[in-house]
Structure 1
Amino acid sequence: MPFISNINFTEGTLVKRSLETFFGIGPKVSQSIMARFHIQPWAKVGTLKASTLIDLTAELSNMKIENDLRREIQDSIMRLKDMGSYRGRRHAMGLPVRGQRTRTQIATARKLNRTLRGGDGRMGT
Structure 2
Amino acid sequence: MVLLLGVNFSEQRLVKRALETFYGIGPSVSTRIMARFSIHPTAKIRDLENKHITDLTAELTGMRIENDLRRQLRENITRLRDMGSYRGRRHAMGLPVRGQRTRTQIQTARKLNRIERRG
Bin of the TM-score, shorter chain as denominator length: over 0.9
* Unmatched tracts of structure 2, length 5 or more: none
Identity %: 67
Structure 1 stretches of 4+ moved >3 Å: none
Q: Which residue is 2:31 aligned to?
A: 31
Q: Which residue is 2:5 aligned to?
A: 5
Paired letter, 1:5: L
Distance 2:65 2:112 in 1: 21
How far off is 1:117 after superposition?
3.6
Q: Which residue is 1:92 aligned to?
A: 92
Paired letter, 2:48: L
1:19-44: CA deviation from partner (whole Å, max 9, x where unpaired):
00000000000000000000000000
Distance 2:5 2:118 in 1: 31
- Aligned 8 A contact 1:3 1:9 in 2: yes
Q: Which residue is 1:19 aligned to?
A: 19
How far off is 1:108 after superposition?
1.2
Distance 2:60 2:9 in 1: 15
Q: Which residue is 1:52 aligned to?
A: 52
Distance 1:47 1:8 in 2: 16
Q: TM-score, normalised by structure 1?
A: 0.91
Distance 1:108 1:29 in 2: 27
Residues 7 and 13 from structure 1, CA distance in 2 versus in 1: closer, same or farther, beyond 3 angstroms? same
What does residue range 38-77 of structure 1 map to in structure 2 within 5 Å?
38-77=38-77
Distance 1:53 1:114 in 2: 38
Q: TM-score, normalised by structure 2?
A: 0.96
Cα RMSD (Å) = 1.0
Distance 2:46 2:103 in 1: 51
1:48-91: CA deviation from partner (whole Å, max 9, x where unpaired):
00111011000000000000000000000000000000000000
How far off is 1:6 after superposition?
0.9
